Structure 1
Amino acid sequence: MQASLRTTSGRQALHLRRCFSAATPVAGRPRTMATAAAAGDKLPPLVSPEWLAERLSDPWVRVLDCCWYMPVHGRNNHADFRANRLPGARFFDIDGVAADAATARGLPHMLPSEQGFAAAMDALGITNDTTVVLYDHLGVFSAPRVWWTFKVFGHDKVAVLQGGLPAWRAAGLPLDTSPPPSDSHMFAASAACAAPPAAGSAYKARLDKSKVRSIDDMLANITTRREQVMDARSGGRFVGTEPEPRPGLRGGHIPGARSLPFPTLLEGGAYKPAPALAAAFAAAGLDPSQPVVGSCGSGLTACILALALYQVNGSLAAVYDGSWSEYGGREDVPVSTLPVDP
Structure 2
Amino acid sequence: MTIPDDPLVSTDWLAAHLGDPKVKVLDATFKMPGVLPLPKDDYLKAHIPGAVFFDVDEVADHSSSLPHMFPSAEQFGRDVGRLGIGNGDTVVIYDAGGWVAGPRAWWMFLSFGHRDVRVLDGGLKRWMAEGRPVESGGVTPKPASFTARFDEARVRKIEQMIANLDRRTEQVIDARQAPRFAGGVPEPRPGLRSGHIPGSRNLPYAELFDAETGVMKPLDQLRAAFSQAGVDLAKPIVTSCGSGVSAAVLTLALYRLGIRDTALYDGSWSEWGLEAGPPIATGPA
> Which structure 1 residue ranges, 5 or more long, are not aligned?
1-32, 190-200
Normalising by structure 2, we get a TM-score of 0.95
> Which structure 2 residue ranges, 5 or more long, are not aligned?
none
User: How many pairs were matched up?
Assistant: 283
Any residues of structure 2 matched to 1:23-172 within 5 Å, and which? Answer: 33=1, 37=2, 41-71=3-33, 73-102=35-64, 105=65, 107-172=66-131
Normalising by structure 1, we get a TM-score of 0.79
Instruction: Report whether the alignment pairs 1:205 with 2:128.
Output: no
Instruction: Report whether the alignment pairs 1:312 with 2:274.
Output: no
- Distance (Å, rounded) in 1 between the aligned partners of 2:8 and 2:275: 37
Identity of aligned residues (%): 47
Corresponding residue of 2:225: 280
Q: Give 1 or 2: higher helix fraction.
A: 1
Could you tell me whether the CA contact under 8 Å between 2:174 and 2:200 is conserved in 1?
yes
Query: 1:191-234: CA deviations, max 9, x gaps?
Result: xxxxxxxxxx9321111101111111111001000000000011
> Shift in Å at residue 314 of structure 1?
4.0
- Distance (Å, rounded) in 1 between the aligned partners of 2:96 and 2:275: 33
Could you tell me whether the CA contact under 8 Å between 2:85 and 2:145 is conserved in 1?
no
Instruction: Could you list the structure 1 runs, at least 4 aligned residues long, displaced by more than 6 angstroms after superposition.
Output: none
Q: 2:42 aligns to what SS in structure 1?
A: helix
Query: 1:272-314: CA deviations, max 9, x gaps?
Result: 1111000000000111221100110000000011001111124
Q: CA RMSD in A?
A: 1.7
Gap change, CA 1:219 and 1:314, over 3 Å in 2 = closer
Could you tell me whether the CA contact under 8 Å between 1:69 and 1:75 is conserved in 2?
no
- Distance (Å, rounded) in 2 between the aligned partners of 1:288 and 1:57: 39
Compare 260-269 and 91-100 and name the one that shifted more: 260-269
> Shift in Å at residue 43 of structure 1?
4.3
Any residues of structure 2 matched to 1:129-278 within 5 Å, and which? Answer: 129-177=88-136, 179-181=137-139, 185=140, 202-267=145-210, 268=212, 269-278=214-223
Q: 1:264 aligns to what SS in structure 2?
A: helix
If you compute each CA radius of gyration, which structure gives the higher value, 1 or 2? Answer: 1
